[in-house]
Each structure stands twice: as C-alpha cells, then as structure tokens.
Structure 1
Amino acid sequence: MDKMRTTGTGYEAREPEKFSRFLYRQKVVFLVAFVGYVCAYLVRNNFKLMSKDMIEVYGWNKLNVAFLLTCFTVTYGLGKFFMGALADRVSLRKLFAGALGMSALLCIAIGFTRQFAVIAILLILTGLIQGALAPSSQAMIANYFPNKSRGGAIAGWNVSQNVGSAMLPLIIGVLGVAAPGNISLAFIVPGVMVLLLAFLMWKLGGDNPEAEGLNSLKEMYGDEGEPNVGEDSDTTLSYWTLIKKYVFLNPGILLVGFINAALYFVRFGVEDWMPIYLSHEAGFSDAQFLTAISVLEWVAVPGSFLFAWLAVKFANKMTIIGAIGLFLMAGLIFYYETIHNTGGSSYAQLLIVSGLLGTLIYGPQLIVNILTLNFVPLKVAGTALGFVGLMAYMLGNLGSNWLMPILADNLSWTASYMVVAALSALSGIGYLTLSRRERKAVKVHETNNDD
C-alpha cells in the first residue's frame, strides 16, 4: 500500500486524516469488487456444470443444452454493454449489489423448475443482469485507484473469476455427496449464499471518493491520478457526446475491443474444446483431461498475480508485457496441438502446458480491462468496459463456438488450433501498436528505487 501513497500534490501531508480514510475505503471497495465477482461465478456457471445431469434426468439432448448456453452467451454480451452504460449513470454500489442479488434469485428460480422454456427465459434474464457485474465492479476500482496502482488492482480483481470458477464445482461436489441426484440444490444453495452476501455488498460498496466527502483522484494525485485522455472542455459535453467521442469513435478502444474478441476466441477455443479434443483426438482419459482443465484454472491464479505484480511495476507498459505473453501463447498452442504424439511422457507434458496456458490466457486478457480504463475518462468507464465486453462475447466467444468444430470436422483439429495461434499472435501485434498511446495516457512517477 505504500506504493499507493506517492502523490504529486503533497495531498497526504495537507489532509492526513482524509487521505487515511481514503486508503481504508480503497481497500474495502477492492474487497467488495473482488468478493462480489467471486459470488457472480457462483450463480453463473451452475447450468453449465449441471447440463450433463440435466440431459440424463430431464430427457434433454445436446442441442437443448447448446441452445440454452447460447441464450446466456448472447444476452450476457448484450448485457455487458447496456448495463455498462447504465453503470455510468447510476450508483455503482447499488447496481453491483442489486444485480448480484437478482442473479442469485434467478439462480434459485432455475432450481425450482424443469420446464425448458422457463429455464431459457431465466438464463436470458441472468445473462442480461450478470452483464452489469463486471463493468460496475471494475468502475468502482477505477474510481478509487490512481494510475500507479489501478492496473495492479484490476489485475488482482481479475483473479476473482478463477476463484469463483474453481469454488463452484467444489460446492456442487459437496452437495452431490450430501444429496446424490438432487439437481435443484446446485442452484438453490449457491443462490441463497450469494443473496445473503449481496446485502453486505450493498452496505460496503462505493461509487467514488467524492460521494463520501473525500477528494477526487485528480485533486489527490494530480496528473498521476486519472487517465490523461479528456480535455477541459469535455466537462460541458453531454454523456452521449462523451461516449461517442471516447468509446465508439476512439481508435484505441476499438482496437482494444477487437483484441479482446480475438483473446476470447483464444480462451474459449482452448477451454471449451479441451474435453472433446483431449479425449477424442488426443486419446486422454476422462480423469486425465479433467485434471488438465483443473490445472489450467488453478495455475491461472498465481499466473494472474504475476501479471498483477507486473501491472504495478510497469504501470504504463502493460501493452508490451501483454504482447510478449501472447507471442509465447502462439508458440505454446502449436506445442499443445502436437503433445499427444510425444509418447508415454505426453500426460506430464499436458499438465505443464495446461498450467502455462492458464497463465497466458488470463494474464494478457486482464490487460484489456486495464487499457480500457486507461483510454477513457472515468465518467464513461462503464460504457467502455461494456462495449469491449460486447465485442468479446459476440465475436470471440460465439466465433469459437462455431468455427472451431467446423474446421475440425471439415479439415482437422490442427487447422482449428492454427487459427487460435494466429489470433494470439495478431493480438500481440495489436498490443504493440497501442504502446505509445498507453504511455501518453498514463502518467506515473517513475524512479529507479523501490518507493
């Protein structure tokens, strides 16, 4: 936290009590955003994890499941944009906690029905409501963290999705032991847990320091407080003019959006197709590929912390770090696709490669959120995050859902993964083209010591 105390205005000395209160609220707001987003995953992936059991018990088929997954994916992408725009207009604290509570209620409702049409409607609503959680939680962090530490805070927050993704299967596994065959509990129990925590988020969350009688980041830190992307005259512009200028017509944000779409293709192209590829093509057993998937998620946590540390150490050089990671990813994908041809040692290699994939998928991806916040004024941060998220799901996620199997069926899995590798490399090039813009937008006090 000492790193966060550096100011260019001497504010800490002039207002020590206010600054101390600000640092306390900074920690609390981060914890609310982190824990709240862990909770988001506890009421998001329930259907995906229970789909196999629902096919067997409810008499569905794979197309039923694919349709329901698409219901969530499409509406979640749209929800990210529209709810992100709403986050710039309403209380972040209330939107975040309210959306979390509503997500929990929808999750509980799914546990009380077997009707396909009803579940489809509930998943559509879940996608729209959950779309508010990432933009509002990241915007909260952006409003409380200056340039020097914002990237590290966002990177640390990003680990919450891995924690939530890893916790939910454990919770469902325990429930499965306690009550075998009871699908409803997998929705109801996590939903009740999150609903109770949502009340805590409502009480402890924050909008911005000014709303609490504190000074703005600009007043406390000077040019090192907020992204240097706006102009003085922008204060008189309407909200819609601001988002047109800084989101829809902002070359930096548009490029970040396309990079994010490519990264989501890479992420879901690897993760979603690991079970089928590793079992049908590579010949690994169920236990082996499930272990590999678990290793990918768990190693992604320390891997993301590594990128969080780099984000603090090199606050305005994240584009270069991301590019290096993505070039390494492109090479790793080539190796991943041939690993089953290496004989008896292939499983050990698979586990190592899976861990590296987790780090190189989530590390460069979290940089997207950092750059998005650095390239827009904070007053339109929610809209920018939602817009970039919309591109990710509508282009990247849906693209991997359809293109990967089409290429695999008509050409080969090698062709599918060559597309993944190419998109990884192109994303790295995209990052490099943004490095100059990043240095211009993010002013930090750089020294060679450890202050």
Structure 2
Amino acid sequence: MRRIPHLRWWIVALICVGTIANYLARNSLGVLAPELKAHLGMTTQQYSYVVGAFQLAYTVMQPIAGFIVDRVGLRAGFALFGVAWSIANMLHALAAGWLGLLFFRGLLGLAESAAVPSGIKAIAEWFPARERSVAVGWFNAGTSLGALIAPPIVVAVSLWADWRLAFVVTGAVGLVWAAAWYAFYRSPTDHPAITPVEAALIAADRPALTGQRATARQILGTAKFWAIAVPRFLAEPAWQTFSFWIPLYLATERGMDLKQIALFAWLPFLAADLGGVLGGYLSPFLVKRFRLSLIASRVAGIVLAAVLMITPGCIGLAASPYAAIALFCIGGFAHQMISVLINTLSADVFTAEEVATANGFIGQAGWIGGLLFSLLIGQLADTVGYAPLFAALSVFDLIGAAVLIASMRTLIVAESRS
C-alpha cells in the first residue's frame, strides 16, 4: 500500500464521517417529533419517554461499549456497532405507536453508545498529547455536522415520501460507513500506509503498552475520573436538550411549521461545529501564547465556554423565534467547546489501553444527567414552559467549570503519570 503522509488526520476524517452518520440517525427523531406526535398520537410526556429510552440505553451501555472496544479492538468493534446502530435506526420505520418507537429507540441507544469512546480511543492511539484537543475538535465536529444536516435531509425525505422512509435513509448511511471503517482502519503499529516519520512521532509521545488495564472499579475509584465525570454530568443536559427538543420547542412555543424548522433548526449545530473546532485549537493556543500547562489550557477553555452558556439561559427573554435561534447558536458554540475539551481530558489522564472504558463511564455520567433533564422537560414543559429549564442549563455549566478549577491539581498529576 502507498505511504500516506499525515495519515493520522485522515483517520480523524474517517472518525468524523462515522460520527456524522451516528448523529444523523440520532437526530432524525427530534426533527420528526412534531410529525410523529401527530401520526402516532403521542403526548409531550410520551415523547419524553421515547427520548428517555434512547438516553437510558445509551447511558447503561457506554462503559460496556467502551469495554468491548478496548477488548476486541477498534477496527472490528467500531464497525460492529456501526452496523448495529444503522439497523436499529431503520427499524424505527416499523413503529405503529409510541411504545414501538420507544423500543426501537432503546435499541438505537445501545448501539450508538460506542461512538465517542471509540473516537477518543483512536485519538489516544494516533495523536501526541499536544495535538489531541485539535483532533478531538475535528472528530467532535461530526456530532454537530450530523445534527446540522439532519433537518434538511430528514424533512426532504419525509415530504417526498413519509417519515418511515426518512428513518430508513438515515440508517442506511451508517452501513456504508461501517464497511469503509473495517476496510481502511488499522492501529498505528499495524497500518501499512503510515510513514516511518509519522510512526516515530506517535511512538515518541506514547508510553510503552503494558498489557495491563485498570478494572472498572479501579477507574471509578480514582479522583481523576470524578473530576471529569461531574462536569460532564452537568454539561450534557444542554446538548441533549438542543438535539431532542429544539424542533418541538420551535413548533409549540414559537409557532414554526416543519418547513420553517428545516430552514432554521440546523443553525445551532453549524455554530456548534465552529465551537468544537475552535475549542480544539484554543488549548494549544493558550499553551503557546500564555504558557499554560496542558491541563490548565483545557480547563481555561471550558471556563470561557461556561460563561458563554449564560446566553442560551436567556432564551425565555427572546422577543422572536429568530432571536431564540440566535441564542441557541451561541449555546451550541459554547457547549461544543466544553464537550471537546472534557473529552480530551479523558485522553490526557487515562492510558490508551483503558481510555475507551474510562470515557464510556464518563459519558455514562453525562447521559445520566441528560436523561434526568429530558424527563424533567417532559414533566414541566407544558406547565411551566421551556424558559426556566433553559436557564437551568447555564447554571449547570458554571458549576461544572468550578468543579474543574477545584480539581486541576488532581488532573495535572494524573496527566504526568499517564
């Protein structure tokens, strides 16, 4: 095979495409929520249960998926989960009521849970520490790109045919990606296309693999785990609210129809892409410009983004739907900065042999927060409205930033030993 310079960036591109496929399938439900409520006779509360089924399954499965990927390897493990989430999403077309939709949504949550742990593991294997946040930024861009393209694609297919075919189309994309991943991915030590220069660059920044992995109990018993997991628990409700509830909010409180939602609901995810990529570059900039340590640069970026998250907390004050969308855009931008840097921290402080499992547990903490908040929205949105719920998201991120500041010494020590 021909040698490919800078192959690690092509690996990130391949991961990003997989994440796009993952989030395209995931966000199909949110885009179709107003139509599904009408066709399947769902209440807002029942819709929150459907969302909760995905979140609960995803929450439970994340560390298990990370464990599986750590054990069977990235190539086979990520491809297997890619096939599984594609089929699960296509099965949504068979739903005859909200309970059927809830069941298929749960299957999708089980399968999609491997995406972030797998991506973080790949970056831990392929990138030196100084480049990881940039790589995570580009990989993480796939989450918002998938969410960004979901409204126009899903609405176009739904209007051309029906909502059932929209689930089939968005699921089939993942099958193509899974085949490409299995065909082209290898680890740096095994990839025939890597150049000797790049192989040496990667090897020089990685400690020798010992073959020893921390157990789940050992990971959960460390202070470094909780220093990352608590802020993730507090940050994740914002992204899941944006992913699953923006279309329904725009329809119920701002009077938008399906076509208007398709025209505007993708904008917060475009802003999220920009925030994710900028967040990745912000860390090395702070290291170079202000001579911050690696960990301090990650935390500083998170603190800045948490301050920006005050903006979506003011959505209830917006005079028009367009002003509300603008505030959502700032929120998407800020949240993805937080997401990129928190995920990078897990690659900084855990070894490549255990990072997928550790990141799975950290993701589980985040999804517990997202699940609880979605259920809260389902219970309160029709009575108190969305405004106080959006305000709560801002407070969560500020608390999470404070926890990270208090935990910096723990993380710095852990990073030096990983």
CA distance in 2, matches of 1:63, 1:347: 23
Q: Retained in 1: the 8 A contact 2:315–2:327?
A: yes
Whether 1:339 aligns to 2:318 is yes
CA distance in 2, matches of 1:139, 1:148: 16
**Which residue in the other structure is 1:192 paired with?**
172
CA distance in 2, matches of 1:416, 1:119: 26
Match of 1:201 among 174, 177, 181: 181
354 and 144 in structure 1: CA distance in 2 versus 1, 3 angstrom threshold? same
Q: Retained in 2: the 8 A contact 1:80–1:132?
A: yes
291 and 430 in structure 1: CA distance in 2 versus 1, 3 angstrom threshold? farther
**Which residue in the other structure is 1:326 paired with?**
306
**Which residue in the other structure is 2:291 paired with?**
none
Give the C-alpha shift of residue 21 in structure 1.
4.6
276 and 107 in structure 1: CA distance in 2 versus 1, 3 angstrom threshold? closer
Q: Retained in 2: the 8 A contact 1:269–1:420?
A: no
CA distance in 2, matches of 1:191, 1:413: 30
Q: Retained in 1: the 8 A contact 2:232–2:365?
A: yes
Give the C-alpha shift of residue 124 in structure 1.
2.2
235 and 271 in structure 1: CA distance in 2 versus 1, 3 angstrom threshold? closer
Give the C-alpha shift of residue 406 in structure 1.
5.5
Match of 2:266 among 274, 287, 294: 294
217 and 48 in structure 1: CA distance in 2 versus 1, 3 angstrom threshold? farther
Q: Is there any run of 5+ residues in structure 2 with no aligned partner, and where?
A: 288-293
CA distance in 1, matches of 2:217, 2:43: 44
Question: Matched residue of 1:89: which SS?
Answer: helix
Cα shift readout 1:249-272 (whole Å, capped 9, x = no counterpart): 221221211100100123345665
**Which residue in the other structure is 2:353 paired with?**
379
CA distance in 2, matches of 1:393, 1:265: 8
**Which residue in the other structure is 2:397 paired with?**
424
Q: Retained in 2: the 8 A contact 1:147–1:224?
A: no
127 and 418 in structure 1: CA distance in 2 versus 1, 3 angstrom threshold? closer
Identity rate, percent:
18
Match of 1:225 among 177, 184, 205: 205
Give the C-alpha shift of residue 209 in structure 1.
1.4
CA distance in 1, matches of 2:38, 2:62: 32
Whether 1:360 aligns to 2:334 is yes
Question: Matched residue of 1:159: which SS?
Answer: helix
Q: Is there any run of 5+ residues in structure 1 with no aligned partner, and where?
A: 1-17, 341-345, 444-451
Q: Retained in 1: the 8 A contact 2:137–2:278?
A: no
Question: Matched residue of 2:26: which SS?
Answer: coil
Whether 1:235 aligns to 2:215 is no
Give the C-alpha shift of residue 152 in structure 1.
0.6
Give the C-alpha shift of residue 91 in structure 1.
1.7
Cα shift readout 1:275-332 (whole Å, capped 9, x = no counterpart): 666676xx644268776643222222222221122134346111111112212323x2
Greater Cα shift, 25-34 or 150-159? 25-34
Amino acid at match of 1:430: V
**Which residue in the other structure is 2:8 paired with?**
26
**Which residue in the other structure is 2:52 paired with?**
70
Q: Retained in 2: the 8 A contact 1:111–1:185?
A: yes
Cα shift readout 1:351-392 (whole Å, capped 9, x = no counterpart): 443322121121112211101111111100110110011111
Aligned residues: 405
Question: Matched residue of 1:235: which SS?
Answer: coil
